[in-house]
Structure 1
Amino acid sequence: MRRVIHSTVVVSAALCAFHGANALAAEKITILVGGMNKLIYLPPKLTENLGYFKDEGLNVELQSQQAGVDAENELLAGAAEAVVGFYDHSIDLQAKGKEVASIVVFGLVPGAMEMARSDVAGQIKNMGDIKGKTLGVTGLGSSSSFLGQYLASRYGLRTTDYSILPVGAGNSLIASLKQKRVEVAWTTEPTTSLLRASGDARVLVDLSSVDGTKAALGGLYPAASLYVRRAWMEAHKAEAAKLARAFVRTLQFIHTHTAEDIAAKMPVDYYGGNKALYVQALKASLPMYSPDGKMPEGGPETVLKVLSGFNPNIKGKHIDLSRTYTNEFVNQVK
Structure 2
Amino acid sequence: MSRIARIFKYTAVASALAACALGSAQASEKITLMVGGISKIIYLPAKLTENLGYFKDEGLNVQLLSEPAGVNAENEMLAGAVQGVVGFYDHSIDLQAKGKEVESVVQFCQVPAEVEIVSAKQAGKIKSVADFKGKTLGVTGLGSSTDFLTQYMAYKAGLKHGEYSILPVGGGNTFIAAIQQNRIDAGITADPTATQLVASGQGQVLVDMRDPAATAKVLGGLYPASSLYMPNAWVDSHKAEVQKLANAFVKTLKFIHTHTAEQIADKMPKDYYGGNKDLYVKALKASLPAFTADGRMPKGGPETVLQVLATFKPQVKAAHIDLSKTYTTAFVDAAK
Give TM-score, length-normalised by structure 1.
0.94
User: 1:16 Cα deviation (Å)?
Assistant: 7.7
Counterpart contact for 2:27–2:59, Cα < 8 Å: no
Match for residue 209 of structure 1? 211
Say if 2:94 is the partner of 1:92. yes
Q: Which amino acid aligns with 2:334?
A: Q
SS of match in other structure, 2:72: helix
Match for residue 53 of structure 2? 51
Change (3 A) 1:296 1:14: closer
Q: Which amino acid aligns with 1:288?
A: A
CA distance in 1 between counterparts of 2:17 and 2:106 reads 40
User: 1:249 Cα deviation (Å)?
Assistant: 0.4
Match for residue 186 of structure 2? 184
User: 1:218 Cα deviation (Å)?
Assistant: 0.7
Change (3 A) 1:233 1:169: same
Match for residue 280 of structure 1? 282
Match for residue 266 of structure 1? 268
User: 1:333 Cα deviation (Å)?
Assistant: 2.0
CA distance in 1 between counterparts of 2:20 and 2:221 reads 54
SS of match in other structure, 1:221: coil
Equivalent position to 1:132, from 124, 134, 137:
134
Deviations 1:291-319 (A, max 9, x none): 00000000000000100111121123200
Deviations 1:159-192 (A, max 9, x none): 2111111100000000001100011111111111
CA distance in 1 between counterparts of 2:110 and 2:17 reads 50
User: 1:132 Cα deviation (Å)?
Assistant: 1.5
CA distance in 1 between counterparts of 2:287 and 2:247 reads 22
Equivalent position to 2:154, from 152, 155, 160:
152
User: 1:22 Cα deviation (Å)?
Assistant: 6.8
Identity %: 61
Change (3 A) 1:133 1:239: same
* Pairwise CA RMSD: 2.1
Equivalent position to 1:80, from 79, 82, 94:
82
Match for residue 224 of structure 2? 222
CA distance in 2 between counterparts of 1:288 and 1:193 reads 15
CA distance in 1 between counterparts of 2:158 and 2:130 reads 7
Equivalent position to 1:231, from 205, 230, 233:
233
Match for residue 311 of structure 1? 313
Match for residue 106 of structure 1? 108
Q: Which amino acid aligns with 1:142?
A: S
SS of match in other structure, 1:40: helix
| Structure 1 stretches of at least 4 aligned residues deviating more than 6 Å after TM superposition | 11-22
CA distance in 2 between counterparts of 1:24 and 1:138 reads 36
Match for residue 32 of structure 1? 34
CA distance in 1 between counterparts of 2:23 and 2:325 reads 35
CA distance in 1 between counterparts of 2:15 and 2:254 reads 45
Deviations 1:133-177 (A, max 9, x none): 111000010000000000000012122111111100000000001
Counterpart contact for 2:27–2:60, Cα < 8 Å: no
Match for residue 163 of structure 1? 165
Match for residue 332 of structure 2? 330
SS of match in other structure, 1:231: helix
CA distance in 2 between counterparts of 1:290 and 1:19 reads 37
Equivalent position to 1:302, from 293, 301, 304:
304
Give TM-score, length-normalised by structure 2.
0.93
Deviations 1:186-224 (A, max 9, x none): 111111110001111111111111111011001000000
CA distance in 2 between counterparts of 1:53 and 1:153 reads 42
CA distance in 1 between counterparts of 2:25 and 2:285 reads 43
Q: Which amino acid aligns with 2:93?
A: I
CA distance in 1 between counterparts of 2:17 and 2:260 reads 48
Q: Which amino acid aligns with 2:136?
A: T
Change (3 A) 1:58 1:18: closer
CA distance in 1 between counterparts of 2:61 and 2:218 reads 40
CA distance in 2 between counterparts of 1:304 and 1:135 reads 23
CA distance in 2 between counterparts of 1:12 and 1:281 reads 54
User: 1:265 Cα deviation (Å)?
Assistant: 0.4
